[in-house]
């Protein structure tokens, strides 16, 4: 197994947290992982992104150059990073915040033919759960469903460890993880 994952959105959408969850879950499943976060000085509202690599073998660099999976949570991030990275297997878009526009369709036509584009209304689904903060976990649910990179039980264990001191937040995250079943 070898995956290069690029995640982007605005600060406050849980972009960096999602990357950490992927790394912790990799360790849970005895895989190697790297994590390379990037965020603007604004933190909340500014652009945030992270690169995650997951492998069965040692990883020599944390830099993602050819993402196999790309997760984009808002339109500014999509427009900023779509020209920089061409996802190879999967492109997950938060359709709640990324509108279909002609200029976007022109960008997509340059993507590889076998690329699977998955649109998830993550923010809308998170709102129905009761907290937009878990839109990242709704998106994670879609990623797990499509890619099978981790067992859902491994993600649940990771969430339980992270939110062990706040049962209410844990329950909301678990609801978001199961939102697409």
pLDDT at residue 11 in the model: 84
Backbone φ and ψ of 116, nearest 5°:
-100, 120
**Model pTM score:** 0.91
pLDDT at residue 179 in the model: 86
Backbone φ and ψ of 81, nearest 5°:
-100, -15
Sorted by where each starts, the structural domains of the chain and their CATH numbers stand as 2-177 (3.40.920.10)
pLDDT mean for each 10 residues of the chain (181 residues): 95 92 96 91 74 96 93 91 84 88 65 86 93 94 95 94 92 91 72
Residue 22 CA to residue 180 CA, distance in Å, equals: 18
Q: Where are the beta strands (DSSP E) in 11-158?
A: 32-39, 47-55, 69-72, 90-94, 116-120
Residue with tokens 């649910």: 141
Q: Any idea of the CA torsion for 169, 172, 174, 177, to the nearest 10 degrees? A: -130
């Amino acid at each position: 197994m070898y995956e290069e994952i690029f995640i982007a959105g605005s600060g406050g959408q849980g972009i960096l947290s999602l990357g950490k969850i992927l790394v912790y879950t990799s360790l849970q499943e005895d895989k190697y992982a790297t994590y390379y976060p990037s965020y603007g000085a604004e933190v909340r509202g500014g652009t945030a992104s992270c690169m995650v690599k997951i492998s069965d073998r040692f990883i020599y660099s944390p830099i993602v150059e050819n993402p196999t999976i790309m997760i984009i949570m808002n339109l500014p991030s999509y427009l900023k990073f779509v020209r920089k990275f061409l996802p190879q297997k999967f492109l997950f878009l938060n359709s709640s915040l990324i509108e279909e526009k002609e200029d976007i369709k022109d960008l997509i036509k340059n993507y590889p033919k076998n690329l699977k584009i998955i649109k998830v209304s993550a923010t809308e689904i998170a709102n129905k759960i009761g907290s937009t903060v878990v839109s990242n976990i709704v998106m994670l649910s879609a990623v797990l469903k499509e890619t099978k990179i981790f067992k859902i039980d491994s993600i649940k264990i990771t969430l339980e460890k992270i939110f062990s001191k706040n049962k209410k937040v844990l329950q909301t995250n678990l609801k978001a993880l199961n939102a697409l079943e």
